[in-house]
Structure 1
């Protein structure tokens, strides 16, 4: 089933109150090839790359490397959402992400996503040059819907159970896929009722966010079922702990092969966007998977 994305509508909004840069042409390829979102955490405590890119110069260099390898989107986050992470203040998050967005926007021609659940951060990030909001709380901030509706930028709605601090304490579901689908049905309705255009909504089942190893594997196995919602699907498995548990690998940097398997199978099962750390390797995985699954040109 074709995902409900209309690129012509995505790039601008008649209700826009925020100065926006147009989305890159790559968004017209949703459904024809897998988009690759590179992770750029400007935090000291992210589970895989904490502290590596908190310096603006290092962050900019990494963004340029991502652009060189051909990523479609750079996802910038200023607050760790790893299991057990503590929230940070609004001021700290803004201080981390806004200068990075501004500097990347000046030097790299690429789509920027802001990974935040705070409406004020989203608004300021959009003004600084971000053109997608990646909201792990799925509009929990009551002001977020208006920011998205007024700006016209796409939003990624993610499922999670609990908060990063407690989400991995005995997560339980009667049927994990069915419950996540019902969650998205409610959140999509909330979004559209709030004025967000339906074709600007992307869904992320939230691998590792309040799920056991078995839950995560089942989500990937049954990913096609989310196509019933007619929204592009983003999947984020990169280096996550469930891979380490399956393969008995403690270090996130040792999980590239496991990540490759989850990315390839997610694409085969309907993922439209993959969110990854290991850009060079996962670009190749995505292109190979696309050649098989989507019959994309080599």
Structure 2
């Protein structure tokens, strides 16, 4: 899954793809480099971020979805929590909604069902503005798993089929470095009704903290190492900025475990 932030303030690439043409060009580049899903986001959810008005999110996201759908048959995901954005994005051609708030906002779940879209539900402790202030868990694996089970059950009770759901433990969303490492260590054992797991650790500050070096090279190295680890343990979707390099790590991991024999 290639990350396409059409925002001015995302932590890694904010401001780089804020026009329709630059965003579509970036999406096509990621597809050429191995992305099978493009995840378009119009609201930064980095630590400390504040919400974006719905009208602004719509203006950022929908034209890009429309243009990309006209250009490519790639699977399009939209990273949003707002019912209006869900409806408009799916009408424009999006296939999936990737929601950091687990489809728990007013109308979000109903909007996904009305659009007959797939969805990824993520765990987050708190809200982006304050989530990294002091995250606490008695049992991070158990609590994240319980929340994801609850959200999958809520989606199914509302009428979604299990096959349309993906789960994301939410690395960095209300988690300390120790919590993130616990989740990464157990990523292959996370079983939420057999649903595919999405992992998003690309370029995150957890690697700057781990390596005690906040440079982009260190963040990318950590991201690629985590991608290799996760791919060997059956993670289905890896959300990333560095698509070519991540795709190579996934290919290597699969070749080693003989899921993708070479030669």
Taking the aligned partners of 2:61 and 2:8, their CA distance within structure 1 comes to: 13
Kept after mapping to 2: 8 A contact 1:234/1:274: yes
Paired position in structure 1 for 2:88: 124
- Aligned partners of 2:113, 2:67: CA distance in 1, in Å? 26
Deviations 1:99-133 (A, max 9, x none): 11111111122111000000110110000010010
Within the candidate set 29, 40, 46, 1:76 is matched to: 40
Quote how far apart the aligned CAs of 1:228 are.
Answer: 5.1
In structure 1, the partner of 2:7 is: 43
Residue among 12, 15, 29 paired with 1:65: 29
Which segment drifts farther, 107-116 or 80-89? 107-116
1:165 is aligned to 2:165: no
User: Unaligned regions of 5+ residues in structure 2, if any?
Assistant: none
Give the one of 202, 213, 218 matched to 1:238: 202
What SS class does the counterpart of residue 229 from structure 1 fall into? Answer: coil
> Which deviations, in whole Å up to 9, do the C-alpha atoms of 1:136-169 show, x marking residues without a partner?
1011123122222232211000000001000001
Matched, 1:274 2:238: yes
TM-score (structure 2 length as normaliser): 0.96
Instruction: Between the two structures, name the one with larger relative contact order (CA 8 Å, sep ≥ 6).
Output: 1
Distance in 2 (alpha carbons) for counterparts of 1:288 and 1:95: 39
After TM superposition, the runs of 4+ consecutive aligned structure 1 residues lying more than 6 A away are none
Contact 1:243 1:258 (8 Å CA) reproduced: yes
What CA RMSD, in Å, does the superposition of the two structures yield over aligned residues? 1.2
Distance 1:74 1:228, change over 3 A: closer
Partner of 1:283: 247
How many residues matched? 262
- Is the CA contact (8 Å cut-off) linking 1:133 and 1:154 kept in structure 2? yes
Distance in 2 between the 1:228 and 1:55 partners? Answer: 38
For structure 1, the residue ranges without an aligned partner over 5 or more in a row are 1-36
Other-structure match for 2:182: 218
Structure 1 pair 224–108 and aligned structure 2 pair: CA distance change class (3 A): same
**Equivalence for 2:65:** 101
State the match for 1:10 in structure 2: none
Local SS of the residue matching 2:51: coil
What are the Cα deviations for residues 22-60 of structure 1, in whole angstroms up to 9, with x where unaligned?
A: xxxxxxxxxxxxxxx000000000000010111222111
SS at structure 2 position matched to 1:171:
coil
Return the alpha-carbon distance in structure 2 between the equivalents of residues 196 and 86 of structure 1. 30
